[in-house]
Amino acid sequence: MSYLVMFVSSAILSLILTPHVIKLAYKLNAIDVPKDSRRVHKRPIPRMGGLAVFISFCIVSIFSLKLDLTLVGLLLSSLIIVFMGMVDDIKTLRPVSKLIIQLFASILLILFGIKIKSLSIPFMGVDKYINLGFFSVPLTIFWVVGMTNAFNLIDGLDGLASGIGFISSITLFIISILTSRYLSSVLTIILAGSCLGFLYYNFNPAKVFLGDTGSQFIGFILASISIISAIKYYTAFSILASVLAFGVPIYDTLSAIIRRKLNNRPIMEADRGHLHHRLLDKGFSHKNVVIIIYLISMVLGIISIFTIVLPSSISVFLFISAATLLVFWKVLNKNYRDQLYNK
């Protein structure tokens, strides 16, 4: 089955499934009611739409790939994340409960052999890497749980998380093709199609939200695929490429942690200080904010691709430059103090 067929199949399947998931969300009362200032929508919207993304991803993956231990482990651990998301979309779970389940799903991944075993060493040649040994377990858990929550946090506007999920998937697909990683290239192109099909119903004005079901699944599966891609290919698929590919969610999450810490608020507590909220407060329209963040994500994705095809010294320079630009953009913003001390 060609990549184009996999992409189109998953997109069409997601497109067909989403209306049925919307009906299911209404039956289960998985409805997002705008009851605080953080929410931008003005009317109740069904959530749990990510179930369509998950089902289409699973079906096309099973038909496209051999059902080996890696794929079984990926789908089983993802199922745990999706089930937790569904429960949270119906009746809100405590942050600690969600964290425990995320840890369990991450450990399951590791038991199936999906973990960060080594890290490449920039400037030291293609065969130089650090064998992590015992530290591969906590680093894998940190990466997977962190990315799962990062995509959950960025899911604040119509089409934002699903669109970034699509862009990140295409970025990792291109990188996987360049590094001859067949499994990850198949998984990412299928995920891209699933996100795109859902985006038809999710873009502003949204008929359905991803919910925790979808945002956490997309973050979890992208983090997992990036690990699969890196196994036995340390230098070509460096950690720098993955960090840049997921640049917007990572940046927004780190900003949220710093902001809440400075305000003496719990890190897991929601607020209205995210990147998309800041852009809305500057007067940009809902659609324009989403498009702006799409463009930022695309630029970071392109840079991450360059880190693969260029020499390691230039790759590290590009990574540092991108990170520096993000920091300076934050610092030079005239509302920087208000963003940090947003009450």
**Binding-site residues from annotation:** 152, 212
- Residue pair 234/119 in contact (Cβ under 8 Å)? The answer is yes
Neighbours of 127 (CB within 10 A): 9
Largest CA distance in the chain: 57
- Residue pair 338/208 in contact (Cβ under 8 Å)? The answer is no
- Residue pair 253/153 in contact (Cβ under 8 Å)? The answer is yes
Q: How many helices, marked H, and strands, marked E, lie in the chain?
A: 14, 4
Q: In which residue are the tokens 């998984």 written?
A: 187
- DSSP line for 40-63: --SS-EE--THHHHHHHHHHHHHH
- DSSP line for 274-290: SHHHHHHHTT--HHHHH
Binding-site residue ranges for Mg(2+): 152, 212
Q: In which residue are the tokens 């779970």 written?
A: 93
Strands 45-46 and 31-32, how do they pair? antiparallel
How big is the chain by its Cα radius of gyration, in Å?
19
Handedness of CA 131, 132, 137, 139 (dihedral sign): negative
What value, to the nearest 5°, has the Cα angle with vertex 206 and ends 7 and 57?
25
CA dist 217 and 148 (Å) reads 7
Contacts of 211 (CB under 8 A, 6+ apart): 25, 30, 32, 47, 48, 49, 50, 85, 86, 88, 89
Q: Which two tokens stand for residue 60?
A: 């096309």
